[in-house]
Structure formats: C-alpha cells, structure tokens
C-alpha cells in the first residue's frame, strides 16, 4: 500500500468507510480507549478537530482494547461514552486491534511507515499518526504527546 486512501474500516455504527472519503484532508489517526489515563485527551482531540476542520483536519478515532482491557465496552457503549462525556463529533470507528497478528491492515501500514519507541509496535492507547493531504504519514506521536502539543505540526500540515 502506498497511501492511507487504499484502506477502509467499519465505523462505530457498523458501516464500511473508505478512507478515500477523506482524500485531500489532513488526518490525525488515534487508537483510543474509554478507561485509560490518557482518555481526557478526547477533550483536546475534539478541540483540535473543531478548531481546524474547516481548514481540512479530520480526527479519526479507533477504539482498541489491547492495552490493559481499557476499552471493554461494545461499539454502542463507546459511542455513548464519547458523546456524553466528551461531546465527540469527529469520526469514530469500530473497535480494532493495533498490534499482533490480528492488527487491522491500516495499523499494519501506519506502523510500517512510521516506527516508534518500540519499533513497529504501538506502545499504548492514544498513539497518534499525522497523515498529510497526499495520504502519506508525516509523523507519529506518543500517547503522552497531548493534542495541544502537536497542534503546531497539524497546522503546518494543513498549510
């Protein structure tokens, strides 16, 4: 695969969504969890999305339960939590795996494009990938990197 637009994934409501639907947008792809110490980053992710979506930013949330069983609920539970607790309006997807043999193809590709501290593995929830308008990975951010900290790189990518 050569760019993010070649992938698709199920949305949190079960429809298959082609990432080509986000062509020419800057994407911030994040593996999220509802019961994690980093979960309050939803606030910053939502603010980033609302502040920059008119310029072409789309945040994509991918729930994952591979780290400390911190995303135990169903897609309906996750959607309700995100809506009621953080007023999330950016696109959310169905729960996936990001590591191991069951890793979603999107995450296999993202990790191959931009390694991290643990090589190609995702370290924890709220690892973030910044993808440019051309569909290629610009950067990868650690879970501790807050949305506020990476806003300058997002703005630069938006051009």
Residues with a catalytic annotation lie at: 36
The rounded distance, in Å, linking the Cα atoms of 142 and 121 is 12
Separation between Cα atoms, residue 144 and residue 125, nearest integer Å: 10
- Looking up tokens 């703005």 gives 155
Three-class SS of residue 99? coil
As a residue count, the chain comes to 159
Q: Are 144 and 13 in contact (CB under 8 A)?
A: no
């Amino acid at each position: 695969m050569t760019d993010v637009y070649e992938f698709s994934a199920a949305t949190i409501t079960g429809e298959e969504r082609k990432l080509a639907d986000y062509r020419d947008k800057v994407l911030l792809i994040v593996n999220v969890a509802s019961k994690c110490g980093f979960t309050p980053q939803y606030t910053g992710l939502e603010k980033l999305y609302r502040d920059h979506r008119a310029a072409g930013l789309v945040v994509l949330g991918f729930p994952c339960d591979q780290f400390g069983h911190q995303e135990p609920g169903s897609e309906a539970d996750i959607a309700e939590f995100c809506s009621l607790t953080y007023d999330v309006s950016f696109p959310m997807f169905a729960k996936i795996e990001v590591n191991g043999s069951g890793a979603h193809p999107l995450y296999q590709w993202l990790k191959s494009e931009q390694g991290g501290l643990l090589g190609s593995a995702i370290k924890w929830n709220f690892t973030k990938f910044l993808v440019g308008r051309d569909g290629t990975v610009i950067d990868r951010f650690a879970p501790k990197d807050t949305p506020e900290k990476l806003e300058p790189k997002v703005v630069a990518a938006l051009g």
